[in-house]
Structures are given as C-alpha cells and as structure tokens.
C-alpha cells in the first residue's frame, strides 16, 4: 500500500464529470492535483451557445460553475488549456512535474462520437498521444500513466458478463477510439517502458454530470413533468456505477503497486435493467410516464462487468447498488431544483 500524501497528479480533462470528482477526492487524500482542461467538451463552452437545440443550458451552466467553484475552494491548480496543443501541454506538465498522469479527455458520448468522428478523434486520441509522448520525456519522471477507457470496448456482450480477458469487439466510433487508446497506452509501455493502468467504467451516474447520460435524463424529465423514453423494451441491462465507487477504485489503483500494467473493470459489478432504473424513478415521481422507443442499432447489448480482478488485486469494494446510488442522485437533483 502506497501513501498518496504529497503525490503530484495531473488530470488531463480534469474539469469534467469524472475528473472534478476525482480531483476533489484526491485532494482530500493529500495529493497535489493539477487540472488541465479546455472546458470545451461537455463543459462550460459547450453550454454558452444560444443554440435553442441544446437542452437545459442554464441548468448545466449552473452545475459547471458549481464544479469550478468546488475546485477553486480546494485550492486545486486549474489550467484552462486545450490538450490538443502539444507545446502548451508540454509546458504545463514539465512545470508541474507530476508523478502520475491520468488521462480523461474525450468526447464521452457514443452518439456524439458517431456524428463527429473528426472532432472526437482530436479530443480523444490526439490529446492522448500528446499526453503519452510528453509523459515519456526525460524532462519528467512519470511513474504511472492511467487511461480511462470504457465498457464500450467490449461491443455486444456475448454472455451476461464480461471480464478483462473477454475479446473486445467495439461497435461504433466511440468504442473503436477507446480501444485504440488502450492499444496506444500499452504500446508506449512496450516501447518506452511507461507504466500504465487502463480503467474500464460503465454507465456512470452521479452529482454534477452534464453529459446527458440515461439516469440524468430520466431524473430531469421526471422533475420537469416530461415523459421518460426508454430505447428498446426496457430489458436491456447495464452495469450502472455510482461516481463515488469509481473514484474510490481509482484511489485503490494509486495506492497499490500491483495495479501497474493492468486493465481493470471499475463498475458496481452487477447489472440492472433500464426498467429497474425506471421503477426506482417511479417511486420518487409516481406520475411519470414511460415511453418505449425502437433501440438504436449502434447501442450494444451489454450486462455485468466482472470486478473480481479489481477486488483481488487492489481491494476494490463498491458500495452503491443502483437502489442506493440512484436514490442519492435523485435527492441531489431535488435539492438542485428547489
């Protein structure tokens, strides 16, 4: 077990949903955190447009300002810079001299990725290649490179559960880029001996998310008296993961040296159906109407991601089943709308 006190960690894309929650938690552990984020993807600049088609802009600006205020109050170093700029990113990292780089930058939405492959490549793989190339520089002494991948790398789950050894057959642009990112990270380890850890999360939800993930849309529609739509017949299963479980899993990875050069599923470790989520929603919003729509052909059939490897190697112990985490999320939203 390694102490994180006084460790220096750079979060590329660290002002996003996962990143800001992780930055706050790491600071509580005594970590010196640097956040580098252009605030463009699912962030402040995305919701300053007057485009009427962008939903809930005012709400999301409020949530993002809350994120940034929390980072400021904790004294976390915030660099508003585009990680696609190799020279600017080099200067920021060399000045900070992190022991660990955590790469979170991405277009974290499969549908948006499929509509804009070029932009997604830039924000996902270009930022990653820049970060990796700087990390292996002699000007730095990076002890670990952590890459956030996705459960989407698996594509269709051929059975109800996948492990880290399951063959990956991603479907669509988003999954393909995430899998490409994994291969690039591993290649830098093979060529330059850069230690790494790859994280595969799934169906994240929790406070201060503006990515319009399924649980978020469910709650916002219910609060506003709108119909909730489900793609498919409601039986599709996802390994819904509360943000606090993921963050604790990352801390477990950082504290355990035997997580080096490993791939981990970091999820709750038990899938629930979309109807299960809708049932929880209906207990809090009895009048909500559920509408079923045809399933998108680019949405893979999924299920449970085994977390046995993470439990064994790093002591991962998720605490939030959907019935606990989603209720906490609903209560946060109710307070937000008061």
Six-digit token string for 30: 């005594």
| pLDDT at residue 234, as a whole number | 95
Report the C-alpha gap between 239 and 230 in whole angstroms. Answer: 16
Indicate whether 335 belongs to any domain: no
Report CA 164 to chain centroid distance, whole Å: 18
Look at residue 1 in the predicted model and tell me its pLDDT.
58
- pLDDT confidence of residue 49: 65
Is 233 domain-assigned? no
Q: State the total domains in the chain.
A: 1
Chain Cα centroid distance, residue 143? 22
Tell me the C-alpha distance between 329 and 251, whole Å.
22
**For residue 88, is it within any domain?**
yes
Q: Is residue 66 part of a domain?
A: yes
Strands 272-273 and 237-238: antiparallel
Residues of the domain holding 161: 8-205+239-269+304-320
CATH of the domain at 191: 3.40.50.720
Q: How far apart are CA 265 and CA 308, in angstroms?
A: 9
Instruction: Give the orientation angle of helix 243-255 with respect to helix 17-28, to 10 degrees.
Output: 50
User: Which residues of the chain fall short of a pLDDT of 50?
Assistant: none
238 within 8 A of 218, measured Cβ to Cβ: no
Task: Give a yes or no: residue 129 inside a domain.
Answer: yes
pLDDT tens-digit map of 146-189: 999 999 999 999 989 999 999 999 998 889 999 999 999 999 99
> 190: buried, middle or exposed (CB in 10 Å: 19+, 13-18, 0-12)?
exposed
**Does the residue 285 lie in any domain?**
no
Degrees, nearest 5: CA angle 146-136-32 = 55
Greatest alpha-carbon pair distance for the chain in Å reads 61
The tens digit of pLDDT for each residue in 301-323 reads 999 999 999 999 999 999 999 99
pLDDT at 271: 98
Cβ neighbours of residue 300 under 8 Å, at least 6 residues apart? 152, 154, 155, 156, 157, 171, 175
Q: Look at the block and give the residue holding tokens 């970590």.
A: 31
* 216 within some domain: no
């Amino acid at each position: 077990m390694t102490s994180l006190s006084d460790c220096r960690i750079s979060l590329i894309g660290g002002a996003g949903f996962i990143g800001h929650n992780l930055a706050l938690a790491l600071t509580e552990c005594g970590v010196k955190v640097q956040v580098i984020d252009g605030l463009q993807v699912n962030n402040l600049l995305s919701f300053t447009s007057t485009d009427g088609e962008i939903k809930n802009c005012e709400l999301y600006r409020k949530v993002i300002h809350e994120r940034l205020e929390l980072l400021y109050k904790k004294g976390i170093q915030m660099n508003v810079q585009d990680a696609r700029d190799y020279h600017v990113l080099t200067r920021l990292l060399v000045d900070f001299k992190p022991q660990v780089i955590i790469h979170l930058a991405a277009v974290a939405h499969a549908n948006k990725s499929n509509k804009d492959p070029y932009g997604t490549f830039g924000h996902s793989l270009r930022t990653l290649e820049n970060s990796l190339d700087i990390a292996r520089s002699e000007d730095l002494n990076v002890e670990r490179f952590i890459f956030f991948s996705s459960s989407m790398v698996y594509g269709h789950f051929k059975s109800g559960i996948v492990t880290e050894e399951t063959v990956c057959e991603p479907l669509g642009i988003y999954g393909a880029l995430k899998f490409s990112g994994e291969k690039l990270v591993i290649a830098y380890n093979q060529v330059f001996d850069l230690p790494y850890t790859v994280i595969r999360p799934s169906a994240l939800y929790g406070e201060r998310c503006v990515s319009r993930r399924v649980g978020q849309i469910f709650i916002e529609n219910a609060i506003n008296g709108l119909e909730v739509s489900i793609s498919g017949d409601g039986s599709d299963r996802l390994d819904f993961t509360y943000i606090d479980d993921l963050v604790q899993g990352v801390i477990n990875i950082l504290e355990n040296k035997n997580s080096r050069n490993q791939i981990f599923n970091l999820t709750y470790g038990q899938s629930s159906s979309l109807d299960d989520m809708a049932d929880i929603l209906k207990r809090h919003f009895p009048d909500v109407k559920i509408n079923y729509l045809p399933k998108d052909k680019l949405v893979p059939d999924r299920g449970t991601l085994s977390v046995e490897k993470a439990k064994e190697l790093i002591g991962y112990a998720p605490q939030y089943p959907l019935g606990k985490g989603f209720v906490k999320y609903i209560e946060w939203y109710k307070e937000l709308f008061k």
